Structure 1
Amino acid sequence: MNKGMDAPSGTGPGPSGVDGLGPGIRACLFDLDGVLTRTASLHATAWKQTFDTFLRSYDAEHHLEYKPFDKEHDYEEYVDGKPREDGVRDFLASRDIHLPEGTENDPSGMNSVHAVGAAKQDAFLTLLNEHGPQVFEGSVRFVRAAKSEGRLCAVVTSSANCAAVLQAAGIDGLFDTTVDGNDVTSQHLKGKPAPDSYLAAAKALNVEPSAAAVFEDALAGVESGRAGGFGVVVGVDRLGDGQGERLSRHGATVVVKDLAELLTAEAAG
């Protein structure tokens, strides 16, 4: 967990800038990939490369018809927003494939859950180096407006690459604390859709969950916000095609296509 500064006690939001959260919301907790940065597509591509390589080999060995990983349905349903190894387990279980767990030291490969996870990490880092992280400008404007009102801001992500992505995107200085995949492992937190990581961020900021808003683009993420009893759960619909309805069904209390929709006209301009 990276805590950038001490959380001020009793600080409330100011009078302008952010709409739709309510005056009792003192903290904003943001998912990273797909909410703040355009890295969700890189993760989806890395998962597809990894799983397709695995499935070609596995299906050929077991005389099965090869069915590739679907970057939209399979990504959203089984891996988006979850810790890496949970994503491996859940997707492979959907194909009735069960690998040994292995260990965190397993090299990139296909013979264990951790080895497949390591292969995905290698693929993601290659893509990140090639393309770099791009931010959603509306989200950055929203974070700046929220902080100008005295609201605390945190990043809560299942990714172990949080610090590197924030730094590369030039937005690491905007946040009071982060809870990432490394913290999930070291603190033995349950991954999303469990609320543990968001609750850990609220605790680090000395804010009750009811006084915090969660911002998520993943179904597992809005589920974790609902399970944690957070005051507002904002679903960010980056996909269209019914994604907004799915986010609502899974726990979002507000759905927007971009966080700029939650800014006042003055702040948005």
Structure 2
Amino acid sequence: MSLSPRPLAAAIFDLDGTLVDNMRFHVQAWVAMARSLGLTLSVERVEREFNGQRNEEIFPALLGRPVPPEELVRLAELKESHYRELFGPHLAPVRGTRELLERLRGAGVLLAVASAAPHANRAFVLDGLHLRPFFSQVVGAEDVKRGKPAPDAFLAAAKALEVDPAACVVFEDAVNGIRAARAAGMLAVGLTTLTPAEVLREAGAHHILGDYASLPEALERVLFGVR
């Protein structure tokens, strides 16, 4: 499914699974976290339910009870530090990422990140890969009240960029993220780093990519055509 070319002012990127192909390491860390708490957590549940949500939403769902702030901070740091330890040796951008960001910036498209990743994880990727200079705005979990599939993060990014949400394209890897982009009234591009193309398409993705090395002609027109 694709839309006719329309004016584009901004491109908003999720981080995990979108700028970096890291979701399997997050899944490993979540499964290990659950095991340490005496719980069983399936890979499928992480992928289906938790992707795109904030730790403040995930831990109560995982534990089946409210989680006091002090406990939440402690558990979240254990999980996230384990994830960074797992992914650190593999830290690399999705193929074609830097080239696409350079092309978008050269075309005058404003760039932002909107991610449920906590600050340390965002710094780990954006600074570790020297990608931060591309993005004029970075919206994190602490900036919104609801994680994806609520549109809050993408709407906050559009507001920070001072652009109309309808003039934004979102790059996402998760079903919750695609639904959030659609709820924000934005063009949704799904990456198949973790979720199959047909699942992303069913969630509402307008375009599907394996990576950024080659873009579908229709998406090329949206991103770089005459505006």
| TM-score between the two structures when normalised by the length of structure 1 | 0.72
Contact 2:53-2:116 within 8 A present in 1 as well: yes
Amino acid at match of 1:29: I
Q: Partner of 1:7 in structure 2?
A: none
Is 2:60 the counterpart of 1:101?
A: no
Q: Which amino acid aligns with 1:151?
A: V
* 1:87 alignment partner AA: I
Q: CA deviation at 1:214?
A: 0.6
Point out the structure with max Rg over C-alpha: 1
C-alpha contact 2:21 2:193 (8 A) present in aligned 1: no
Match of 2:81 in 1: 122
Structure 2 counterpart of 1:166, from 107, 111, 126: 126
Matches within 5 A, 1:1-269: 22-55=5-38, 68-71=40-43, 73-90=44-61, 92=62, 98-103=64-69, 105-106=70-71, 115-128=74-87, 130-131=88-89, 133-160=91-118, 161-184=121-144, 189-230=145-186, 232-239=187-194, 243-262=196-215
User: Structure 1: which 5+ runs fail to align?
Assistant: 1-19, 57-67, 107-112
Offset from partner CA, 1:68-110 (integer Å, 9 cap, x none): 4233x122112111111212233x2xxxx5233211x33xxxx
Is the 1:217–1:235 contact (alpha carbons within 8 Å) kept by the matching residues of 2? yes
Residues 153-189 of structure 1 deviation map (CA, whole Å, 9 limit, x = unaligned) = 11110001212320011211111111012323xxxx3
CA contact 1:80–1:87 (8 Å) conserved in 2: no
Residue 143 of structure 1: CA displacement?
1.4
Contact kept, 8 Å, 1:29 with 1:155, in 2: the verdict is yes
**SS in structure 2 at match of 1:261:** coil
Structure 1 counterpart SS, 2:214:
helix
Identical residues among aligned pairs (%): 30
Give 1:121's aligned amino acid: E
Q: Hey, what does 1:11 align to over in structure 2?
A: none
Q: Which amino acid aligns with 1:212?
A: C
In structure 2, the CA distance between the partners of 1:159 and 1:167, relative to structure 1 (3 Å rule), is: same
Number of positions where the alignment pairs a residue of Structure 1 with one of Structure 2: 214
How large is the Cα RMSD of the aligned pairs?
2.2
Cα distance change of structure 1 residues 21 and 139 upon mapping to structure 2, 3 Å threshold: farther
Distance in 2 of aligned mates of 1:21 and 1:42: 37
TM-score (norm 2): 0.85
CA distance in 1, matches of 2:216, 2:184: 25
Note the C-alpha offset of 1:136: 1.0
